[in-house]
Amino acid sequence: MKTYLVTGCAGFIGSNFVHYMLEKYQDIRLVNLDKLTYAGNLENLKDVEGDPRHVFVQGDICDKELVESLFAKYDFDYVINFAAESHVDRSISDPLVFARTNVMGTLNLLETARRLWQESPECFEGKRFYHISTDEVYGALEMGSEMFVETTRYDPHSPYSASKASSDHFVRAYHDTYGMPTIVTNCSNNYGPNQFPEKLIPLFINNIRHRKPLPVYGKGLNVRDWLYVEDHAAAIDLIFH
């Protein structure tokens, strides 16, 4: 049985991934870590709380002692890092929180995994660190421009995207410096079940239901790509394996 540390498990994308994995695989154990901030909700995991393959731990990825104790207790084979502050408007009003969680939290996970995995006789054999990022690290596209690819130059424009870009660089640096098996994927905007209501699609739906105005951002000319969250979970599973 392979054991995964899944961070940010009670959030929108993380909880959908947990459901996807438990439905697809019988021989896994998911140790799910979440701080339960405004974006994390245990109701998202209520229907799996009795599943012996699912262990929930409330805590912060920045907590060095907690993360080390979990690695020592469960001897993780894999880390899948969803945990992040992710709302652009919040990052503008409080960028330090985004730097702490998205950069230092990711670095804490990386360093703990590196140190404990390297101490084992097999070192990194059979291990993997998967980091979920965003396409916003590449900046914005003009209409008619070519699509972003993995080699597109990073060009973040908000504290949120800058913090995610920094965490991406740390993940890749741990691969290049220490040989840690790492993966970074950069997804577009997700939508689907259990999304936090401040995000655009549920915000519009709720405002329509309650006959409230629909906010137009900027001049209303922005175009977004949308990815259904269960399709994203399936893509993570495919890339991971």
- Active-site positions read 135-136, 160
Distance, CA of 194 to CA of 227 (rounded, Å): 15
Distance, CA of 237 to CA of 241 (rounded, Å): 6
CA atoms within 13 A on the CB side of 107: 14
Tokens of 196: 């936090």
Coil/strand/helix, residue 7: strand
Give me the residues paired with residue 34 across strands: 58
* Cβ–Cβ under 8 Å, residues 15 and 80: no
* Cβ–Cβ under 8 Å, residues 207 and 213: yes
Task: Tell me the angle at which helices 12-24 and 229-240 cross, rounded to the nearest 10 degrees.
Answer: 60
Using the Cα atoms of residue 6, residue 10, residue 11 and residue 12 in order, give the sign of their dihedral. Answer: positive
